[in-house]
Structures are given as C-alpha cells and as structure tokens.
Amino acid sequence: MEAAIKIDELVPEFKDEVLARIPDANFDLCLTCGTCTGGCAASELFDMDPRKLIRMLNLGMDEEVKKSKWMWVCSMCARCQSVCPMDIAIPKLVYNIRASVERSKRPKGILGSCDQHIKTGSAMGAKKDDFEFTVLDVAEEIRDEHPGFEDLQVSVDRVGANMVLNQNSREPVTEPEEMGPLWKILHTVGADWTYPSVMWAGENYCMFMADNEGWKYIMEEFTLHVDNTLKSPYVVNTE
C-alpha cells in the first residue's frame, strides 16, 4: 500500500517561484468555496479543477501540480478569477505551470502550431502569398455568384484602412468558403477594413503554450506591420 503524503514534509517551492512573478496572485486567500470550479468548463477533466489546483499549490504538492495534464485543457478564459471573491490569479498560475515544462516536452500539436506561426505567419503553416491568393479568389467567387454582393471588396495590406482584421488560419487553408459570411457582414455595414499579410493569423498557440519569446515575436511583428506599414488605428481579432 502506498504511503500517505505527509503535508508537513512538503515545501511550496513552485508557489514561491510563481509569486515572485505574480506578487498579487493571492493564492493564500483561497476560501475553498468552489465558485471557480462551478464556472469552469474544464472542471473534472483529468481529475482536476481550479479549486483543487490551488489547494495542491498551497500544500506544496509541486510535482503533482506540474505533472497534471489539466494544465493543457484549461483555456485560461479567466472566468474562475472573475467570479472568485478573493480575485485569485488562477489563469496566471496555469500559464506558469505550462512555462515550467521543458519546451520540447509540451504537447506536439501546440508546439508545432507555435513554430509554424513564427516561421510562416500562421499556425497552419500557410505562407502569406498563398493566403492572399485564396482570399482574393474567394472574394471574386462571391462577387460572381452571390446576388447583392457584386461590389464586395476584400483587400490585403491596404494602407490607411480604418480596421485591420485577423483571420483564423484554418479557414483559408481548409474551409475558405467559411470566410465569406463575415465579409458580407462587414460589407453590409460599410466597414473600412483590410487583412494584414504579416502574422495575419488570429490564433496564437505560442501564447497558449506559454512560449513568451514566441508570443512576443508574433505580436511585435504584427504590431509593427499595422502601425508602420498599414497605418490603421484599429485591430479586430476574430479569435
């Protein structure tokens, strides 16, 4: 029979590491009320929930926390923190747990999507020339085949547009016809918008897998393109 864990032998080293980066995390203020768990879509997956995670962290169960696969199913939507009466920073804790995992050992799908985005500008690995070709081709098809949208305009890198729109890269790669409905709405309301050609994909798996450098690179390249080249005041991210 496996021996029970002796709480007084555990030292919350990981908690101290996280607190050094998030001084206002408030982990010790947990009331174990369960409000966070009640609103979490990932509760009970992998035998874990937000309340249990905080309790384990406070008890110094560092290895159990770091080994849990639950860190990868949490969407970091922050609902747990928004309903928490003590404003405990659970999403930031999850982010730091992910960052504690050796990069090469993080989930292959997320890792690959992050690397593709850094390399090509989209998580699906679609290059900007292919993206632009697909966008303009689908727009032409809509103008030709959809009554009432004969003058629909879709552009890439149109300087001075009021709004820059990011796009989930899955759609132009696998379901290009799914882009049309949004374009029709923007056309109907008279929106002045364009797509960027640099880091045009709306999803950001580097953020999701806690790759700070990758996340920073993607956002800096995108921001520089919008500010310096397109000179647009607004950005709308469809994700």
State residue 11's pLDDT score: 59
Tens of pLDDT, residues 17-74: 999 988 888 899 999 999 999 989 999 999 999 999 999 999 999 999 999 999 999 9
pLDDT digits (tens, 9 = 90+) for 123-159: 999 999 999 999 999 999 999 999 999 999 999 999 9
Say what the pLDDT of residue 134 is.
Answer: 96
pLDDT of amino acid 209: 92
Alpha carbon 60 to chain centroid, angstroms = 29
Q: Which residues of 156-191 are buried (b: 16+ CB within 10 A; e: fewer)?
A: bbbeebeebbbbbbbbbbeeeeebbeebeebbeeee
The mean pLDDT of 227-232, rounded to a whole number, is 97
User: Higher confidence at residue 12 or residue 106?
Assistant: 106
pLDDT bucket at 10, cuts 50 / 70 / 90? low
Residues in Cβ contact with 212 at an 8 Å cutoff, skipping those fewer than 6 apart: 99
Percentage of the chain surpassing pLDDT 90?
83
pLDDT in tens, 162-184: 999 999 999 999 999 999 999 99
Residue 9 has pLDDT above 90, yes or no: no
How does pLDDT run across 90-103, given as a tens digit for each residue? 999 999 999 999 99
User: What span, in angstroms and rounded, lies between the C-alpha atoms of 108 and 183?
Assistant: 33
CA atoms of 21 and 160, how far apart (whole Å):
39
pLDDT at 239: 74
Find the mean pLDDT for residues 195-222: 94
Judged against a pLDDT cut of 80, whether residue 7 lies above it is answered with no
DSSP string, 89-139: -HHHHHHHHHHTS-GGGS-HHHHHHHHHHHHHSSTT---HHHHHHHHHHHH
